[in-house]
């Protein structure tokens, strides 16, 4: 009967359990490639500035003198271009999304990478300085 086309699906849905998940009690589905937000490891960043050049939305600002790396979360579109372009692997794409906020978020990191001394074969410094994460309007 052509008026009962949907019945099969309805019965299957009734017996099959819910198709959705109880977010936020159950975390949302992510996968390896999910573009959530960009994270930086300030201890390996060598201030080359490629990320800020590649960024299509001018969300990343780098101050070489003051050793400051800033990302404007409201501008960032999480395209991943900076992550692909980083020659030192300091940038990574995290799978979790940036939480919703009501105020403009600019995250500021102090780059703690210290150039290793040339003649000595000492490995790179210990990151003694703490990364300063602050929010400013």
- What are the beta bridge partners of residue 59? none
Coarse DSSP helix, strand, coil percentages of the chain, rounded to the nearest 5 percent = 15, 20, 65
Distance from C-alpha of 86 to C-alpha of 108, rounded to nearest angstrom: 18
**Contact between 79 and other proteins (CB under 8 A)?**
yes
Q: Find tokens 């960032």 and name the residue.
A: 76
**Contact between 8 and other proteins (CB under 8 A)?**
yes
**Contact between 135 and other proteins (CB under 8 A)?**
no
In the complex with other proteins, which residue's Cβ is closer, 12 or 122? 12
Q: How far is the CB of 13 from other proteins (least distance, A)?
A: 7
**Contact between 116 and other proteins (CB under 8 A)?**
no
- Candidates 15, 23, 27, 31: give the one binding other proteins (CB under 8 A): 31
**Contact between 14 and other proteins (CB under 8 A)?**
no
Measured CA angle at 120 (ends 116, 125), to 5 deg: 35
Q: 90-115 burial, b for 16+ CB within 10 Å, e for fewer?
A: bbebeeeeeeeeeeebbbbbebbbee
**Contact between 137 and other proteins (CB under 8 A)?**
no
Cβ 108 vs Cβ 63: under 8 Å: no
- Candidates 11, 57, 101, 133: give the one binding other proteins (CB under 8 A): 57
Binding site for other proteins (CB under 8 A): 2-3, 5-6, 8-10, 13, 19, 29, 31-35, 56-58, 77, 79-80, 84, 93
């Amino acid at each position: 009967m052509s008026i009962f086309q949907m019945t099969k699906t309805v019965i299957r849905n009734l017996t099959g359990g819910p198709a959705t998940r109880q977010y936020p009690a159950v975390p949302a589905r992510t996968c390896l490639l999910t573009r959530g937000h960009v994270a930086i490891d300030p201890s390996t960043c060598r201030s080359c500035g490629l990320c800020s050049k590649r960024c299509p939305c001018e969300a990343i600002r780098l101050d070489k003198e003051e050793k400051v790396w800033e990302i404007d979360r409201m501008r960032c579109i999480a395209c991943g271009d900076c992550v692909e372009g980083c020659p030192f692997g300091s940038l990574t794409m995290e799978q979790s999304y940036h939480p919703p906020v009501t105020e403009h978020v600019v995250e500021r990191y102090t780059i703690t990478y210290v150039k290793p001394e040339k003649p000595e074969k000492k490995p790179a410094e210990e990151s003694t300085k703490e990364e300063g994460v602050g929010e400013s309007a």
